[in-house]
Amino acid sequence: MGTLARRLAPAAALGGLAIAIVGLLDPALAASRLPARDEMTAMAPTDNAAQQGGATTATCDTAETVTGPIVTTRWGPVQVAATIAGNTLCEAHAVVWPTGERQSRQISTYAVPELDAQATRQGVILDGVSGATYTTEGYRESLQQLVDSL
């Protein structure tokens, strides 16, 4: 994904549905590594829960930190950094967010703290993947299959 644009929805009644985008990831851009932030380093030694649980997957203590591209939204630039181990999103937080305009501040007040709050919320696991319908054959190469294999 080269860039990102988001638009505000008209205030919609959500009912029982609560959805938040916790991170926009671009692992392909792993070349642009972030230096580990203090809190990431601090949590790393205890992040071997998957090993304790007997799983053989990568764990958050071996996770790579990757940054998404700086993307221009109508409110200003947004950039998200994430640490990923296998299919586990260990952490995601905004490293660049809009400032300046009134609209931008409004977004920053709500949206970015929401993204940033994820920095302290550890161990975000993918429970499933939504994508264009695949065949039984296609499932074998899907991320859903990887999630299911854990």
**Chosen residue from 36, 39, 101, 138 binding other proteins by CB under 8 A:** 138
Of 26-45, which residues contact other proteins (CB under 8 A)?
26-28, 43
Under rule CB under 8 A, residue 22 binds other proteins: yes
CB atoms within 10 A of CB 122: 18
Of 71-90, which residues contact other proteins (CB under 8 A)?
87, 89
Under rule CB under 8 A, residue 55 binds other proteins: yes
Q: Which two tokens stand for residue 112?
A: 């970015």
Under rule CB under 8 A, residue 21 binds other proteins: yes
| Of 94, 136, 104, nearest in space to 8 by CA | 104
Tell me phi and psi for residue 119, to 5 degrees.
Answer: -65, -30
Question: Going residue by residue from 97 to 126, which x/- string records binding to other proteins, judged by CB under 8 A?
Answer: ---------xx--xx--x-------xxxxx
90 burial level (CB within 10 Å; 0-12, 13-18, 19+)? buried
Q: Which stretch binds other proteins (CB under 8 A): 32-40, 94-102, 128-136?
A: 128-136
- Distance in Å, CB of 125 to other proteins, minimum: 6
Q: How far apart are CA 134 and CA 147, in angstroms?
A: 15
